[in-house]
Amino acid sequence: MESASHGNQPTEGTAPATVELVELRERISWLVRLRWLAIGSVIVTVWVTPRIFRVHLEVYPLYGVAGGLAVYNSLLWLVGRRLAAVSGAPVVTGFANSQIALDLIALTALLHFAGGIENPFVCYFVFHIVIASILLSRAATYLQASLAIALLSAMGTLEATGSIPHYPLLGFMDSGLYRRPVYVLGTLFATGTMLYISAFMATSITSRLRRREAEIVQLSAALQARADDLSQAYEALRRLEGARSDYLNRVAHHLRSPLATVERMLAVIAEGRTGEVPEKSMEMLDRARARLQEVLDLARDLLVLSRAREVRRLADRQPVDLSALARSVVNDFAQSLSTGAGEVSLLVSVPDSDVQVVGNTDSLVELLENLLSNAIKYSRPGGTVSVSLARTGDRVVLAVADQGIGIPPEDKARIFDEFYRATNAKESGKEGTGLGLTIVKAIADAHGAQVAVESEQGRGTTFRVSFPAAP
Ligand code: ADP
């Protein structure tokens, strides 16, 4: 029996578990299941035909063949299970080939005990050829078709010549046609051409399907490789980002305490506690302190940012009542405003009841403080800043709106970038590190929230942060 592999199966000795091989194993077990169905049908047909159609059948030999089929199907099932675990392509295709050959022999035996070549079920050989085309290579399918014709010819000839007995289908066809050479040859010719044509048609279709299958397998392997590359690149980026943020964190940390000490010393000098400071020196001192404050702000923002990026990893997440949090943050700001310039009015509109999100309280306070301080900073004297909170469906939306300088359309896309400041903000003379919104975005990301901004230059800006509501 030929055991050539079909399609692009590997040759002996190569790794067994190709996609084609796995498919072939599955189809073999499908064939075993199909055979149980065929055995059942044979038994029912043999039982029914003499009783209902009054056709004489050699019942016991036919049951015997059905029994033989059942025995070898059980064995094939057992062998198939072992084979699935160990064997490579040539063994599995050889196994499939042997099964189909056995089936052809079984069908010939069934036909022999039921009228031989006169039995109209001769055409059932075609099913085996279709199955062969699904399981095997094109060449193997033609070989199986040839085996079927050889078996049929042998049976027809041996019965016609009286070398083996003929079991007529009495009651259906008892005309002795099996002995007439014209009938035997005609049937063999018709069946033979039918089998070869079926082999041709079925293998054409299945080989095209196999080619497609192979293309899909190749494509999905290529896609998988891309996905692996991407996830590796993503991992590398994440590591890099982690290292960068660690580095910034450390630098900021180390800068902060000496700078704070310097600032305290300068404050002591500025307050005149070390002796009177000449006016000119005082001016220089004030400028030095202002610049120092900028560096301190930067160090603080860098620390806050790296903390914000860690929130995702922090375990201390809990339900947070955003309305209470918003009221408290706005209150603190209102107090500092009333003691300071007092030119910007603060409005707060949050529900009295709890509006909960799951998160980290300190980070959420930082998020709101950043939005609020920006809104106040970029407001014009006499402007109003409002903070509102609303629950819509399964989202909680926190909005901070101002009537300030607004954001130029060309800068809008970049305001969340690190250190980015819009041109009008820089020109306004208001100091800033350009890290506030980066912090806001990092905290929002860590909470599964989205930040949206609406702004009209010269008229005002609204930031909306949409959180998933706590369940
Ligand atoms: P900064 O320290 O400069 O305020 P942020 O990261 O907080 O940095 O904001 C980035 C930029 O976004 C600001 O420089 C400013 O151009 C713009 N921006 C943020 N909030 C507002 C606002 N409420 N009104 C106008 N512009 C804003």
Per-residue confidence (pLDDT) for residue 4, from 0 to 100: 38
Does residue 148 have its Cβ closer than 6 Å to ligand 1? no
**Residue 8, pLDDT score:** 40
Q: Which two tokens stand for residue 153?
A: 């010819």
Handedness of CA 151, 152, 153, 159 (dihedral sign): positive
C-alpha span between 168 and 170 (Å, rounded): 5
DSSP 273: B
**Residue 258 neighbours by CB distance under 10 Å:** 9
Distance 406 CA to ligand 1 centre (A): 9
> What share of residues in the chain are helix, strand, coil (percent, to 5)?
65, 10, 25
433 ligand 1 Cβ < 6 A: yes
Q: Are 450 and 470 in contact (CB under 8 A)?
A: no
The CA R_g of the chain, rounded to the nearest whole Å, is 43
Torsion sign across C-alpha atoms 356, 362, 363, 366: positive
Given a contact cutoff of 8 angstroms between Cβ atoms, the answer to whether 403 and 460 are in contact is yes
Burial-class residue 471 by CB neighbours within 10 Å (0-12, 13-18, 19+).
Answer: exposed
Environment class of 66 (CB within 10 Å of its CB; exposed 0-12, middle 13-18, buried 19+):
buried
Sheet holding 395-402, edge to edge: 345-349, 384-392, 395-402, 460-468, 450-456
Q: What is the pLDDT of residue 1?
A: 34
Task: Read off the DSSP letter of residue 352.
Answer: S
- Measured in Å, residue 415 CA sits from the centre of ligand 1 at 7
Residue 403 Cβ inside 6 Å of ligand 1? The answer reads no
pLDDT at 313: 55
At residue 49, φ and ψ (nearest 5 deg) are -55, -50
The pLDDT score that the predictor gives to residue 309 is 76
pLDDT at res. 17: 55
Closest ligand 1 atom, residue 402 Cα: 23
> Which residue from 303, 314, 298, 316 is spatially nearest to 245, judged by alpha carbons?
303
Exposure class string for 261-296: b at 16+ Cβ within 10 A, else e: eebeeeeebbeeeeeebeeeeeeebeeebeeeeebb
- By most ligand atoms within 8 Å of CB, the mutation choice from 344, 370, 378, 462 for ligand 1 is 378
The C-alpha atoms of residue 98 and residue 420 are separated, in whole angstroms, by: 74
pLDDT of residue 249: 82
In the numeric block, which tokens belong to residue 127? 């099913």
pLDDT score recorded for residue 317 = 80
Best residue among 421, 424, 443 to mutate for probing ligand 1, ranked by most atoms within 8 Å of CB:
421
Q: Is the dihedral of CA 215, 220, 223, 224 positive or negative?
A: negative
Cβ neighbour number for residue 92 with a 10 Å cutoff: 25
Quick one: which of 160, 176, 174, 175 has its CA closest to 54? 174
Does ligand 1 come within 6 angstroms of the Cβ of 168? no
Of all atoms in ligand 1, which is nearest to the CA of residue 404? Answer: 24
Predicted pLDDT at 11: 38
Q: Which two tokens stand for residue 210?
A: 């196999």
CA distances from 354 to 368, 469, 471 (A): 17, 11, 13
Judge if the beta carbon of residue 400 lies within 6 A of ligand 1: no
Read off the pTM.
Answer: 0.57
How far is Cα 105 from Cα 122, in angstroms, rounded to an integer?
Answer: 12
Tell whether ligand 1 has an atom less than 6 A from the beta carbon of residue 245.
Answer: no
Which residue, 125, 419, 216, 177, is CA-closest to 301? 419
Any ligand 1 atom below 6 A from CB of 425: yes
Q: Which atom of ligand 1 has the smallest separation from the CA of 406?
A: 25
User: E strands, 61-148, where?
Assistant: none
pLDDT tens per residue across all 471 residues of the chain: 333 344 444 333 344 457 677 778 888 889 999 999 999 999 999 999 999 988 999 999 999 999 999 999 999 998 888 776 666 778 888 889 999 999 999 999 999 999 999 999 999 999 999 999 998 999 999 999 999 999 999 999 999 999 999 999 888 877 789 999 999 999 999 999 999 999 999 999 999 998 998 899 899 999 999 999 999 999 999 899 888 878 888 888 888 889 999 999 999 999 988 888 899 999 999 999 999 999 999 999 988 888 777 755 555 789 999 999 999 999 999 887 754 555 889 999 998 888 899 999 999 999 999 999 999 999 998 899 999 999 988 999 999 999 999 999 999 999 999 999 999 999 998 989 999 999 999 999 989 999 999 999 999 999 999 999 988
Are 320 and 304 in contact by the 8 Å Cβ rule? The answer is: no
Q: Is 436 in the pocket of ligand 1 (CB under 6 A)?
A: yes
